[in-house]
Structure 1
């Protein structure tokens, strides 16, 4: 019996996991990547001799990755050193108003009580209770389902689960639902921010996204040496098990014969035959015809108005004064609704943005991660993010708009007491147009389809397409955006492919692997902030 051959397009997280899983099961795997590096959105850059993560900045849902490494006969600890974060993020609204949120909800409840009073602490307690209830209601019939359906969700949630969701009113926008817990608008901003983890505007995202708070409290981990080491570890394992990796190999077309995917044609003209193909990239690229007519017909188109958020980002070496940065710090705008109205309604950069800043030389509580008592020579490593519209392919930002965005971003930081000094030569700016170039057909959207409205979670495609032999992985398919979700999608694609090969061909049957169809976290969580 000959060995089935699979071509995987895209060496992002979903592609790496699919390649590893299939190689472990004895299939011949060729992983092709258009860039000269692997990782997709799990990326890093070198600035003045220092490596800075410019994608996900922490690892969440550790059990997902433990399962992936276990399927390959090893452990996560054999390849990575992880440090648990007890402080999730430090938040600021101005120079005086600051609040730390902790992995331990009891510590957060106490801090909220000091910050906003006993009623706010009680509201947080109820919020955590309901977030946990929603998670439990959705975990089996939705989160653990490979292809979730509303009918199975309603049947599987049970009476208690449906009552829990009714208490939260999941059909309301998250922003409005939070009013029942937090009269203080600052706390509504803090917990509405979870919507941006999956690229949604808090004013339009469904209230069910509050379950992300419960998931985050299950563990946040810092990776020693940087997040990119996760991609490197998966690549090494996949190659060890026999997979082949080809970078600088752009796919121009998915080939099909007799109504079935049968390989790919590269931009160079080379054709690679295969028994099946996995497309690990944004579904918009397939729907837009970037992989030929066969790929276009295999998926449904996504409307431009349904795109998730993009971002303006700055990776830099900088000197910092004033604000006691933690590893994760968030600086809020004075008007959250106006901020997302600018982005979603008007398609422009926010006039007064909120800012996320990752201080990568600091631990979760802000102490230097190296054995030193001072900042690294040349400035500490910072990664800064401001939400932006996914307009990179329609209306690239002008130099004036970018300059103004940088100015108002620095103004937000200054209002909260933080001063940054950075040499322009030690700063790398990325815009929606830059992300659109890296991820074609997205306009720079970083999370696939925006979860605006409760029905959107059911509109993500699953691993199988209408073209037999063609499968999907990545953050734009179920179970959703974010590093652990993309990893789960790669496992789903591999499992679906193995099952179909075993049932529809005379090829040697392959064993199934367990666990990947039962994620233990939300389909709507991203691994980065």
Structure 2
């Protein structure tokens, strides 16, 4: 971020951040660290946004992301105000990071430590594949080094800013080839290739069509380490809000933003359900359709945005668990390429599903009543642009829930439907109701035409002092990139950080509850 970038002109003393999700909280901390006065408005009663919390009969469900990688990116936001992530949150490293279960009965523990994973791959698929894994790991590390500074943690004003020596290095690494083929260059076992390529689904592109550069997501999942905050993923936004409040941020919970006041090309105030807040600049973190509606304008694009697949999520509190489940378990069906066709082309529900099951009580039993367990079951599904509409999900949801549980029963989780005591089912209709385009929480797909400088910009033409943050804008989808988006949005207001030493922490209050 050392190159010159466009910044908000004029006064920026007081910034209103709309939304207390991870992007908004990251922006708030970076703005505070740069000396700005910050007001955060949030329609919910607590911070977190999509990383929310549902408490029901002693079960504490995280309603958003369940996988936490690259904690140093979160710590960078805390450090902006002289604080520390690890002072606020106990992070528990997950060993293994995942357990992968395959339709042929094979099981693989996915370790992020090199020696442990090499030994596991050799046990699972033999010494030749273990050697391929060693080469793959080295490639992923080089890919991450090349991409992070220039292509991920970077604001773009023009595609010409891609023309750096790192672009040539990325090309030399094969980053512009296809992900599936590149992973296959290192690994022949089709099951292993799935473990290092399934992540592209959440970027909205099948591995056979995704750029190999997107393997950087696999780096985060399989090399950098996977962690769990004690108290659940919601502990992260809680801690960020507490740190921001202690650094002087003014939080307004239960304030729904109704409109933005303008004077010419500048936003002069944010109007909420509780009144008017004058401002010098605004950071908008809602999904793109909501932000564009508030701004009264949207950017011109030659092609309509394509959106990632959506997901059905069942949050289940159960009276038992199953030994084969790790903290995170990938349950793969026989189908693979056909599954991606269903999710991204034909708009059909998966006929042979691949599922993510997260059991947070494996690491933190206090998240459920004594002797009980939490299970988060995520089934990817088509978004509402190409699949069932939001209205259709009202009838489809209970049937699909039963279908997924029956499939898990067949895969070894015997009696899972009868074990459910408390539950919350989330479908594309719910995402649609929350304002997410195409009924997906994963926003715009990471096609080449929607990545880097081609992704919707965080500056909007025709408005001088509004900046966007969140998964719909730069750099994209996922907890690490959303945290970066808040940092990049703050840099549009303040200019790139000068990286001073941490300033002393001053405690002036608390936001959204005590420290986890």
Structure-2-length-normalised TM-score: 0.86
Query: CA separation in 1, counterparts of 2:384 and 2:450?
Result: 24
Q: Supply the distance in 2 between the matched residues of 1:156 and 1:474 (Cα, whole angstroms).
A: 28
Q: CA deviation at 1:50?
A: 1.6
Query: Which residue of 245, 252, 266 maps to 1:246?
Result: 252
Aligned pairs for 1:215-234 within 5 A: 215-216=220-221, 217-234=223-240
Report deviation, 1:206: 1.5
Distance in 2, matches of 1:98 and 1:463, equals 42
**Corresponding position: 1:450 with 2:455:** no
| 1:64 matched to 2:73 | yes
Equivalent pairs, count: 487
CA distance in 1, matches of 2:261, 2:241: 26
Q: Aligned with 1:344: secondary structure? A: helix
Q: Distance in 1 between matches of 2:272 and 2:317?
A: 38
**Which residue, 429, 454, 459 being the options, matches 1:433?**
429
SS at match of 1:41: coil
Structure 1 unaligned runs (5+)? 364-368, 501-510, 516-529
What residue is the counterpart of 1:418 in the other structure?
A: 413
Mapping of residues 204-353 of structure 1, within 5 Å: 204-216=209-221, 217-267=223-273, 270-287=275-292, 289=293, 291-293=294-296, 296-297=297-298, 299-300=299-300, 306-320=306-320, 322-353=322-353
Match for 1:485 among 436, 457, 481? Answer: 481
Aligned CA distance change for structure 1 residues 302 and 416 (closer, same or farther; 3 Å): farther
Counterpart in the other structure of 1:388: 381
Q: By how many angstroms is 1:321 displaced?
A: 5.4
d(CA) in 2 for partners of 1:23, 1:477: 22
Shift of 1:361: 0.9
CA distance in 1, matches of 2:160, 2:13: 36
Contact 1:32-1:247 at 8 Å conserved across structures: yes
- Correspondence list, 1:174-213, <5 A: 174-213=179-218
- Asked if 1:108 is matched to 2:117, the reply is yes
Question: 1:204: how far off?
Answer: 3.0
- Contact (CA 8 Å) 1:42, 1:54: kept in 2 or not? yes
2:472 aligns with one of 469, 476, 480: 476
Deviation at 1:488, TM superposition (A): 1.7
How far apart, CA to CA, are the structure 2 residues paired with 1:513 and 1:263? 30
Distance in 2 (alpha carbons) for counterparts of 1:52 and 1:149: 42
| TM-aligned CA deviation for residue 101 of structure 1 | 0.8
Alpha carbons 1:30, 1:244 under 8 Å: kept: yes
SS of residue matched to 2:172: helix
Matched residue SS, 1:315: strand
Distance 1:171 1:145, change over 3 A: same
- Name the counterpart of 2:454: 459
Report the TM-score when normalising by structure 1: 0.84
Aligned-partner Cα distance in 2 for 1:321–1:44: 22
Q: 1:32 to 1:415 in 2, by over 3 A?
A: same
Q: CA deviation at 1:19?
A: 2.0
Matched, 1:498 2:494: yes
Deviations 1:109-162 (A, max 9, x none): 221222122332233223223222322332332233222765444422175553
**1:322 deviation in Å?**
4.9
**Mean CA deviation greater in 398-407 or 110-119:** 398-407
Alignment CA distance shift 1:323-1:304 (3 Å): farther
**Can you list the C-alpha shifts for 1:225-244, whole angstroms capped at 9, x where unaligned?**
11111111111222222222
CA drift at 1:452: 2.7
| CA drift at 1:434 | 0.4
Separation of aligned partners in 2, 1:302 and 1:73: 44
Residue of structure 1 equivalent to 2:513: none
Query: CA offsets, 1:324-381, max 9 Å, x none?
Result: 2111111012111221211211223212211101111113xxxxx459xxx9546301
**Do structure 1's residue 5 and structure 2's residue 14 form an aligned pair?**
yes
What SS does the corresponding residue of 1:426 show, helix, strand or coil? strand
Pairwise CA RMSD: 2.9
- What is the CA–CA distance in structure 2 between the aligned matches of 1:484 and 1:499, rounded to whole Å? 21
Distance 2:269 2:213 in 1: 40
Question: CA offset at residue 265 of structure 1?
Answer: 2.6
Taking the aligned partners of 1:304 and 1:455, their CA distance within structure 2 comes to: 10
Report what 1:524 is aligned to.
none
Q: Call closer, same or farther: CA 1:136–1:6 in 2, change over 3 Å.
A: closer
Q: For residue 302 of structure 1, report the CA deviation from its aligned partner.
A: 9.6
Could you tell me whether the CA contact under 8 Å between 1:204 and 1:453 is conserved in 2? no
Trace 1:38-77 onto structure 2 (pairs within 5 A).
38-77=47-86
**Kept in 1: contact 2:405–2:417 (CA 8 A):** no
SS at match of 1:434: helix
Paired residues of 1:171 and 1:454 also in contact (CA < 8 A) = no
SS of the equivalent of 1:385 reads: strand
Instruction: Output the CA distance in 1 between the equivalents of 2:498 and 2:138.
Output: 37
Q: Secondary structure at the match of 1:443?
A: helix
Choose the corresponding residue for 2:37, options 12, 15, 28: 28
Shift of 1:90: 0.3
Shift of 1:186: 1.6
Closer, same or farther in 2 for the Cα pair 1:422/1:4, shift >3 Å? farther
1:64 aligns to what SS in structure 2? Answer: helix
Shift of 1:423: 5.7
Shift of 1:222: 1.4
CA drift at 1:310: 1.4
> Is the contact made by 1:353 and 1:408 (CA closer than 8 Å) also made in structure 2?
no
Partners of 1:476 and 1:223 lie apart in 2 by: 25
